[in-house]
Amino acid sequence: MLKDRQLRLLLDNLTSAVLVLDENLSLCYLNSAAEDLVAASSARSIGLPLEEVVRESRSAQQALRSALATGEKYTVRRALWLLHNLEECTVDYSVTPLTDLGLLLLEVQSMDRLLRIAREDALISAQETTRNLVRGMAHEVKNPLGGIRGAAQLLQRELVDLNDDGLGEYTQIIIEEADRLRNLVDRMLGPRQPVKLLPVNVHSITERAAQLIEAECDGALIIKRDYDPSIPDIPADSEQLIQAVLNIARNAMQAIAESIGLEAGSLTIRTRVQRQFTIGRRHCPLVCRIDILDNGPGIPEEIRERIFYPMISGRAEGSGLGLSISQHIINQHRGLIKCESEPGQTEFQIYLPLASE
């Protein structure tokens, strides 16, 4: 026969959050997983009404009272909970009335991590699909371009022999435009050479990108550094990773310059270590996170989901290739790049594994 202390120990070792409510829907028990989920200790939460710790909808409160009265079990999927600290979380939970005791048992599973993994998995798959499409398109475009350029060169030689400089100008335009299109396709493909992963100090990369931005804007833009000096060396190709960070920072600088002016703008580069992170379907015990934040106008909502696709840009003068190239470089490093944007703040997050595979 298990004792009360043993039962509590078993409940505290469950990964599912367990909450017990009394007939007034006040908390009378939380296990350790529940404390982590609602970001509150049992000592502070027990005796409080559930809605003071976790808020859902009025109908959810009514459903709990109805379950207590009727004794019927039910399950809710993808419920949005607003915690007492104003953070939100998405959960699945099951309600089991314990009618003999006048209690309600809530078994709760946080879905935030699973939803994030699913979103990132979909993002990586979409990026890989786009990359394959671009490779196929590049092959189809460059083959006829080579033929057009070669034919224009032959025609130019014939015209030189005929001393016809007027028509020669037209053939030169064909050659130059063919070269321009070829260079554009090469830029869409991103770096051709494979990455060479060597131990690199991440702050040498962020500092190099920051120095280049400061030089480009002549020091008019405020660049803030928020570095974690304890981050160990990461396996990376230094030159390519500088290019990835620089593309993002340069986009931020240009967006600020076109909207509020460099003098009113600020760019923050932050580094942190994050534990137990999942990139796609790979679990990483430790990752290095590089955050690049700006106070510009934000990314237009209609293109937010497509900003890593080639030729997608929120600026009239933008080529739409910088972020696509950055995404390709980060993917080569087995990492992940994400973006969150709203008017007045845009944040790019780069996640890089701290151990090479």
Please state the rounded mean pLDDT for residues 184-193.
67
Q: Does residue 357 carry a pLDDT above 80?
A: no
Please state the rounded mean pLDDT for residues 227-254.
91
Query: What are the extents of the domains in the chain?
Result: 4-110, 115-189, 198-353
Contact 314, 299 (CB under 8 A): yes
Residue at token pair 């314990």: 98
Query: Who wins on pLDDT, 143 or 286?
Result: 286
3-state helix, strand and coil shares in percent for the chain, rounded to the nearest 5:
45, 25, 25
Give residue-wise pLDDT tens across range 153-162.
Answer: 888 777 776 6
288: Cβ contacts below 8 Å, ≥ 6 apart? 202, 231, 234, 271, 272, 273, 274, 351, 352, 353, 354
Give residue-wise pLDDT tens across range 316-339.
Answer: 555 567 787 888 888 888 888 888
Class of domain 4-110: alpha beta
* Domain spanning 198-353: CATH superfamily: Histidine kinase-like ATPase, C-terminal domain (3.30.565.10)
Query: Which of 18-22, 166-170, 273-277 is modeled with the greatest confidence?
Result: 18-22
Give residue-wise pLDDT tens across range 2-29.
Answer: 566 767 777 777 778 888 888 888 888 8
* Same-fold call for 4-110 versus 198-353: no
| The predicted structure's pLDDT at residue 320 | 62
pTM over 0.85: no
Query: Who wins on pLDDT, 304 or 1?
Result: 304
**Please, what is the average pLDDT of the chain?**
82
Contact 160, 318 (CB under 8 A): no
- Residue 138's H or E segment, with its range, is helix 112-161
